[in-house]
Amino acid sequence: MATTIGGEPLLPARDAILTVVVSALVTHLIFNRWETKAIPAVITLLVLVPVSLSILLVPHYGVVQGAALSLATYLLSLLSSILIYRLSPFHPLARYPGPLLCKCSKLWMVWIIRGGKQHIYIQKIHEKYGDAVRVGERVWDLGIDQYTYRDGLGPNEISIRDPSAILPMMGAQGIPKGPGKNAYHLNVGIYLMPCNPGWVGRSFHHPIPALIAFRDSAEHARRRKPWNRAFNTTAIKEYQPIISKRVTQLVDRLAEQKGTVDLAKWISFFTYDFMGDMVYGGGTEMLRDGDKDGLWKALKDGLDIAQVYEHVPWLSYYTRHIPNASTELKQFRAMALNRTIERYKNGAMTKDLFYYLSNEDNAEKESPQPAVVISDGILALVAGSDTTAAVLSNTFWCLIRQPDAYKRLQAEVDQYYPRGEDSLDPKHHVKMVYLDAVLYLPQGNQARIHFWSLHRDPRNFSHPNSFYPDRWLIAEGLQASSEEITHNPKAFIPFSFGPANCVGKNLALQEMRVLICHVVQKLSMRFPEGWNPQEWEEELEDRFVVKMGRLPVIIERRD
């Protein structure tokens, strides 16, 4: 291609550079409008265009310097255009406060999550900026409509710490999760777009999303039908032998241990084995053999990288094509595939979760594709094991740290399950009010409504950072108090809220109640000398679910 006309440059140097700058601004508009992630288009816009424009600069600066100057000018202009717009009063979210770096790029949150303390960071910026905080930007900044979500590249994001946002955002008539320009204006003056493109990134843009990621409310309701059947009252009663078997095994294994025991590890093994029974009809024996196949480690390590993809979903669109990238997540999905194939081959031994997810109960006219069952199985295995393990581990940490609460719970267990009484039978749970009070646990969640901050807001709860089971008994009129406490139950949503809430809530509660009753009846626990209980809380990490460190305890049989 000619770079001169009659020996003269096509354009003066100043005009040539200006052309490169204008081209970069046009590229910003293109990304602004379409936010394409197709590799050929991205390479063309970010590499081929500035290289082609270098022909205007070559006559002035030479081939090498001209190409370098064109590329640098182009990319710098594009980046400057994006940043200026994001910080300008013309940005759709300009009126919402937040840290400067959060306004610039979601990459800042990727930096924050390195240490797993995102929940603490967001809580602090809520305390500084208020109930609506701007915490992120799309990669290319789709400034035309911040409520439009295209292909999982990520939305502008506001974090909410206001209970009045829960119903209009997450209720039955709340905001759809799907693409489009749906938004509601709440009484706190916040426009919300609750779609979660992070799930697209976490799943490597898999064509079949997990139930929790569904955007369309009607499709979500359809996919949730087998889950609802699997967790109704009748089905949960059928799961009681599975719970009893695994709880008994856990207590027996704990009682066998000598010296200091990592209670969090053993509880994690229990929840993983139990959900393995529930999802695949067995096949996992971590309580017996430990993590010999490395699956639990793969799951925990995978949480770290998955959280990066949650904040920058476009990244996994490219890294999924790299063979050795994110091996932990790929290993876990391969395990799910193999277990699903084996479960299909063996058929139903019991009415477990897989029985309903695969339509073995013949409730639906057509059975789902195996890929759908795999997706739902992975969700159940992770959501049912990791979250329950975190709640149980935190509960025992709180109880052992506060001996008075431990003794009070032990007295209630001994009242309803005296020595010789079957503590695996849930028949007395409905009467055990302190047991339910103990299971109060504020959880950290990465969500548009930031649950961690909501649950720890003193405007909603007195002593928000303390383990205070009595609050629930006082609020229900079951216990007198000399102190007038603040208690807003509408602000407490540990199982989420609305039609997309935790479908396994009742199973999780029964599992935890049975385990706590049986453990407290059979065992006594204490922290080892010299260990600072504060270390447990300091080591907790927000990886969408809670990632735990060690919980060292010394265990003795009560009998």
Q: Which residues of 156-187 are buried (b: 16+ CB within 10 A; e: fewer)?
A: bbbbbbbbebbebbbeeebbebebeebbbebe
Q: Which of 468, 501, 390, 504 is nearest to 116 (CA)?
A: 390
Give DSSP secondary structure letters for 391-423. Answer: HHHHHHHHHHHSHHHHHHHHHHHHHHS-TTS-T
Helix, strand, coil percentages for the chain (3-state, nearest 5): 55, 5, 35
Q: Is 398 known to sit in a ligand binding site?
A: no
d(CA 2, CA 552): 74
d(CA 47, CA 552): 54
Q: Which of 243, 251, 244, 266 is nearest to 558 (CA)?
A: 251
Q: Name the amino acid, one letter, at 70.
A: S
Query: Could you give the residue ranges of the DSSP H alpha helices within 135-207?
Result: 166-170, 198-202
d(CA 102, CA 359): 45
Helix (H) or strand (E) holding 541: strand 541-543
The DSSP symbol for 7 reads T
Show the CA angle centred on residue 506, arms to residues 503 and 511, nearest 5°.
120
Give how far Cα 94 sits from Cα of 86, 122, 362, Å.
Answer: 8, 19, 53
d(CA 2, CA 530): 78
Residues ≥6 apart with Cβ < 8 Å to 85 = 28, 91, 141, 143
The answer to whether 388 touches 511, Cβ cutoff 8 Å, is yes
Residue 116 region, left (φ>0) first, then alpha (ψ -120 to 50), else beta? left
Local structure of 172: helix, strand or coil: coil
Task: Detail the residues annotated as belonging to a binding site.
Answer: 502
- Which residue numbers belong to the known binding site for heme? 502
